[in-house]
Structure 1
């Protein structure tokens, strides 16, 4: 049996490994990710258009982007939907850059690894869809940001669109880690990440693969549409 096939049949991990299979090594330290690039490649080019389509279907006109970076793709949505409201959430240099350079949107600075709640008016949350695109793999502890996303859904956000690398497509189930990208702490295989989301109180409504970039067009990024489980909504 091929080594990676054997790894696929190994059980996923538990909460202590964020459901990644045993034996995987996460990065213990990671530098702050500054969202800047000089090339012409668009990474995850289909995630934001997918989110916009879902927003239109659901009659939502507020987009909350958690971990927005420098918000280039959010800016593209703002150009296409000038009547919508856009809220970008990040911290550090990325937040400062957005605040100083984007003429649209509201920019909120919170530490994504410690914040417990976002200062967003409830009336906006109830009109919103949430995006958290390629963020969790950069965080030493992804639990707080997942809790922020979940909290918005419980408060009335329609759905959340999440993306993160698919380890099985990039380096294989058996890849020992840490990831080749030095700004990534860990990368999940699709079944591992879905287990993490389910354990975090999300209802998975769609899970598939999307393009990592518009140069290679390789399908190696996970794309998920999630809601809050009804039992979690009922506790509020």
Structure 2
């Protein structure tokens, strides 16, 4: 899929490059990652991140918004010698700290965290993952700038995923999303514009499965491998 410029007709740069008039959810519900329905959500995102790690000679995965770390558990079973760092807040990260002995579990609020105290020798072996997290954040620009900072500090790549609104609710859906833990959902063109406005260059973009229960390819998947300067005048 071709990726357009950050500023495009009909998109509001002061509204995270959503359409003018889109209604966001001001107070999303905290997402407790304890679903037991047997469905694996975004089943191909972490295998894609593992491929990116192998391609970049990386053996560290930093998961921004890791939830209860279920997908890292699966990845760790396949790559037990890698180092795993999960970042989240509240009951999810507390559960990881109490129940998952293999990783480093860092409590940090992605709405406010602008740096992680990691040595450059670790970052240079790192692939970042931020899987279906940005739509939960009132201020996603903070998390995006954290990703940019980590890439600038040496991380080799970042893998981002988020729902594709045009395939779930329709491109003209005025918001807010049906999912009460989501603040907003971007259509693909809008999300690419938002990513680029934060100074991140998209190396690869595709649609991937939302789940392994026949939900279809309704999730955006972006690979970031380099950092460029943010566009002047891009408020968000």
TM-score, normalising length: structure 2: 0.92
Unaligned 5+ residue runs, structure 1? 1-9
Q: Which residue of 2 aligns with 1:140?
A: 138
Name the SS of the counterpart of 1:31 in structure 2.
coil
Q: Which residue of 2 aligns with 1:174?
A: 172
Summarize the Cα distance change of 1:12–1:79 in structure 2 as closer, same or farther, 3 Å threshold.
farther
The RMSD of aligned alpha carbons is 1.3
Which deviates the most, 120-129 or 188-197? Answer: 120-129
Q: Which residue of 2 aligns with 1:157?
A: 155
**Cα distance in 2 for residues equivalent to 1:191 and 1:230:** 19
Summarize the Cα distance change of 1:210–1:15 in structure 2 as closer, same or farther, 3 Å threshold.
same
Name the SS of the counterpart of 2:116 in structure 1.
coil
Summarize the Cα distance change of 1:195–1:102 in structure 2 as closer, same or farther, 3 Å threshold.
same
Matched, 1:211 2:204: no
**Cα distance in 2 for residues equivalent to 1:132 and 1:177:** 23
Aligned runs of 1:17-96 on 2, under 5 Å? 17-96=15-94
| Residue 27 of structure 1: how far off its partner (Å) | 0.4
**Cα distance in 1 for residues equivalent to 2:10 and 2:76:** 39
1:89–1:108: 8 Å Cα contact kept in structure 2? yes
| Residue 216 of structure 1: how far off its partner (Å) | 1.2
Aligned runs of 1:107-146 on 2, under 5 Å? 107-146=105-144
The structure carrying a bigger helix percent of its residues is: 1
1:35–1:69: 8 Å Cα contact kept in structure 2? yes
| Residue 224 of structure 1: how far off its partner (Å) | 0.4
Name the SS of the counterpart of 1:163 in structure 2.
strand
Q: Which residue of 2 aligns with 1:6?
A: none
Match of 1:188 among 182, 186, 189: 186
**Cα distance in 2 for residues equivalent to 1:67 and 1:227:** 20
2:164–2:188: 8 Å Cα contact kept in structure 1? yes
**Cα distance in 1 for residues equivalent to 2:228 and 2:16:** 23
**Cα distance in 2 for residues equivalent to 1:27 and 1:192:** 17
Q: Which residue of 2 aligns with 1:201?
A: 199
**Cα distance in 2 for residues equivalent to 1:184 and 1:230:** 28
**Cα distance in 2 for residues equivalent to 1:225 and 1:12:** 25
Q: Which residue of 2 aligns with 1:5?
A: none
1:201–1:228: 8 Å Cα contact kept in structure 2? no
Which deviates the most, 118-127 or 195-204? Answer: 118-127
2:148–2:227: 8 Å Cα contact kept in structure 1? no
Unaligned 5+ residue runs, structure 2? 1-7, 231-236
